[in-house]
Each structure stands twice: as structure tokens, then as C-alpha cells.
Amino acid sequence: MLYLRKRRFAACHQACDALLKQSPRDQATIYLKSRTFIEEAGHDDAELDESSAGEQLLDETALASLPRPGTSISRPMTSQSGSAAPNSVASARRMTTGFVRPGSSSSHAHSTSGRSSSARVATSLGREVRLATASLALSSGEAAFIDTQRLNIDRLVRRRALAMSVAQYLLYHESNVRLALDIGAKATASEHFQDWWWKAFVGRCYSKLGLFREAERQLKSSLRGQDMILTRLELSNVYLRLDMPARALDSLEEARSLHTNQTALLLASARVCDALMKFDVSVDLYRQALRIDASSIEAMASLASRFFYSDQPELSLRFYRRLLQMGVHGVEVWNNLGLACFYSSQLDLSLNCFLSALSLAHDDDAADVWYNIGHVAIGCGDAALALQSWKIAVALDPKHAEAQCNIGVLESRRQNLESATSHLAASCAVSEPWLFEPFFNHALLHYKMGNFQQANEDVHRSLDALPGHSESKELKDALDAVLRVL
């Protein structure tokens, strides 16, 4: 128990194994060992799970083909033209929330990204990767901890505390959702359908299985017995998986009226507003969360990102410095701090921040850091350093389309048209759906070289990526006039 309280999981496992060798049916030891596995898994039910590729392919939830604006996460900025903002959740995998959360890239699990080392999509049950078989062997290999084939559920549910621990172990560690659901259903029946905890657990299992309507009924029934914040958050996640963000916001607002000064509810509401592109509302919610909990990392990171993209880098710089003071050290924080310093005209601090980011970065992260260093060099007027930085970024990540595009632009300014054409063509080949710059620059270069047919193809692809780009429209009109004459 002391090892578990100190979160020394390896020592707790060894102590429990020694006790189970002496008495394999010691209920207290089984309870402690299962609690150790649950704590070791570290799963948070309040967060939205990642959607696997199988769940998205086999999703039978009926969605409106033309939802009303602000009522769908899949089309957060739906308008009469049907276009979305270039950096919206529906059109990009690079999020602008400033805080990486589970579920933030779930809507694009089918697309491949040049930032990852593998292009395979997730096929597991959300984030819960199965770490072992159904019969978990002890470290000595002499016996099994829980043999699911011989588990007597009827006798187990009569011991409430042990049944709760074993059910959570099967759900979070073993990912055996069906057996956990069987235990939860029989335990609920044994309690005469009056136990709120078991109802919430059954709803959680239904949610893992993709049965969201059944999960909604169980969670609502649990709330009628006992109103809990965690259950409210799980219910809002069910609505989000059903693509009903308005219902999720209503549920969270009702919860905030009952449970005041709860940062978890404020942050959950702010995430939904971010997904719906209601940034003014989300900023207000993040500020309320910071007034209650001044050490909320998610609120600070999200506000820092929002102020940065709102052309207020000085305010963004304050939040990033506060994150460093709180001990949040990582390549992302140092990189964002360097960008905020650069746009705040503090070039000396900016370069030092990027050096700290490079000291912590791996190859994939280092490519983005070198890309940003190139922009700092351009701001200082050092084109040679910028070109070298972007070449290093491409060497670290050959699929870095933005760096390839910028190298092509610099080469075209140096009148190295052949090199510029090759780099821009490589950028177009690995470009993400929301990038229009490689196609526009490639079209403009071919237009100046007299290759009007290729320029016409590229400018159409640029307009497909960003329909409202005025310079692409001007180039298209010029190409149409030339092609009519030809």
C-alpha cells in the first residue's frame, strides 16, 4: 500500500507477486495489484478518446450533409460557399489551440502526415493499446494474475470493492471491454439498478464499444442518482462523438451552474468552442479557468497560442514565460517562446530560445525548429542563413513542404530557375491539403517562364486549397486571358 501511494509501481508489483505466491486468492493483494495496473495505465475518462481508423470507417452515425453553421465539428465554419477556414479543424492536422489533446487529430486519421515517421493510421481501440493477453502472467511466469476464462462473475460482484477494481483493470489495462461490461451489468442488477457508479461504468463501456446512445442513457441515469463532474464530462464527450457540439455545450453549461468554480468544466467548454471556431468565447472561458486555477497549463498554453495568432505576441510571451517558470520544459515551449520573442522584436532572446529547443528536439521536431530559424534569419535580412536553415530542415525531414517551398522562392530570387522549379515541384508533391503557397509559387514561376499550361494546372490547385486567395484569382484571370489568345 505504501508503494502504491508513492506511485512506485514496479516495487508494488513485486510485493504483490510475493504475497500472491503465498496466498493466490488473497483478495486484498488482488485488489492492490489491479489498482497498480489501473494507476499505471493513467487513463483519464474526462478526455476525448482518439478515434481509430476502424471506428471511422465503420461509423454508422447518421450526420446531416449540410448542417447549420456552428452545429457540427466536422464542418465548423460551414457557409453558403461550403468552404472552411484554412487553419480550421476540418481542413488541417496542425492545430492552433496551443495544447495537444487526445482527439485533436481524430478527424484526419485517414490522411498521412509528413511529420511522422510512419504513415500508418491508428487501428487500435483508441489510445488504449493492449499491453498483454487476456491472461496476464506474473513476472515469474509460474501463475496467472487473473484468468478471465475461469472468472466467476456472479461471485465477484458480491464483493463490491474488488469487483470495481477488477472491472477497471479489465477495461483500462486489458482492453477487454465486453467482459468489463458483463461485470458492470451484473453488478448493476445485483444493486437493484440503484448504484450510480456502476451505471457510469456501464456507460463508459458502451462508449468504448461505439454504442453512444446506450452510453447516453446510462450516464443520464447515473446523474439522476448522483451528479458527478466526471460523469458530466463523459456525457459531453459522448455528444461530441455523436457530432452534437451544441448539446455538449448545453450539458457543460448546466454542469457549470451546478458545480461552480470547476476548471475541468470550463476547459471542456473551451475545447468545444475551439472546435466550433468560436475563439472569443473560448478565450473568455480560458481566462475564467485561470482566475480559478492560476497554474492551469492547458489554459495558459491555449491563451498564449490564441494571442500569438491574434497579432499580440507580447501577451503570448508572458504566458510562455510563465510556463517555463512552472517547470514545463520542452521543445514546443522553447520553439513557441522563440517565435513570440522574434515577433516582439527581441531577436537576441529569440535565437537563444531556438538553441534551447534544438538541444531538446528529435529529428522530426528539429526540422520545424530549423524552419522557424529560417524565418528569423529572413527577418534579420540574412538570406544565406535562411537558405541554410531550410536546407537543414529538408535534410532532417524530406517531406517538409514549407521548407521546400521557401527554398524554391529564394532560388528563384537568385535567378536559379532550374533549382527553384525542382524544389517547388518537390514541395507540391508532398504538400498537405491546406497548403496553397507551393502551388501558387509554382504557377507563378511557370507563368514567368512561359509554361502557361502547367501554370494553369497549379493555380487551380492553389484555389482548391484556399478558394479566397486574391493573388491566385488574379493569376488565374491573367492565365485565362493568355490561353484565350493562344
Higher pLDDT, 213 or 124: 213
Cα separation of 305 and 320, whole Å?
Answer: 9
Per-residue pLDDT of 293-318, as tens digits, reads: 999 999 999 999 999 988 899 999 99
Residue 282 CA: distances (Å) to CA of 248, 266, 278, 286: 14, 9, 6, 6
Query: What are the pLDDT digits (tens) for 135-154?
Result: 333 333 434 567 777 788 88
- For residues 392 and 106, the model is more confident at 392
56 vs 198, residue with greater confidence: 198
pLDDT at 84 over 50: no
User: Which CATH fold would you assign to the domain 1-49+130-243?
Assistant: 1.25.40
What CA–CA distance (Å, rounded) separates 361 from 413? 31
The lowest-confidence range among 129-138, 189-198, 427-436, 457-466 is: 129-138
Separation CA 12–CA 36 (nearest Å): 7
The amino acid sitting at 364 is: D
Angstrom distance (rounded) from CA 20 to CA 26: 7
Q: How does pLDDT run across 188-227, given as a tens digit for each residue?
A: 999 888 999 999 999 999 998 889 999 999 999 999 999 9
pLDDT band, very low/low/confident/very high, at 252 (cuts 50, 70, 90): very high
**Right CATH number for 411-486 from 1.20.1250.20, 1.25.40.10, 3.40.50.2300, 1.10.760.10?**
1.25.40.10
Cell of 387: 537558405
Task: Give the helix/strand (H/E) hosting 41.
Answer: helix 27-41
CATH of domain 295-397: 1.25.40.10
- Per-residue model confidence (pLDDT) at position 122: 30
**What is the rounded CA–CA span in Å between residue 444 and residue 458?**
9
Distance CA 307, CA 329 (A): 20
The C-alpha cell at 16 is 504483490
Partners of residue 144 on adjacent β-strands: 137
Please check whether the two domains, 295-397 and 411-486, share a CATH topology: yes
pLDDT tens, position by position, 153-163? 888 888 888 88
% helix, strand, coil for the chain, step of 5: 65, 0, 35
pTM over 0.85, yes/no: no
| DSSP per-residue string spanning 99-120 | S--TTTTGGGTTS--TTSS--P
Q: Per DSSP, which regions of 347-404 are E strands?
A: none
Phi then psi for 131, rounded to 5 degrees? Answer: -95, -15
Structure confidence at residue 243 as a pLDDT band (50, 70, 90): confident
Averaged pLDDT score across all residues of the chain: 80
Average pLDDT of the residues in 324-349: 89
**Whether the Cβ atoms of residue 71 and residue 246 lie closer than 8 Å to each other:** yes
Q: Which residues pair with 137 in a beta bridge?
A: 144
pLDDT confidence of 123, banded at 50, 70, 90? very low
Domain boundaries, the chain: 1-49+130-243, 295-397, 411-486
Q: What percent of the chain has pLDDT over 70?
A: 79
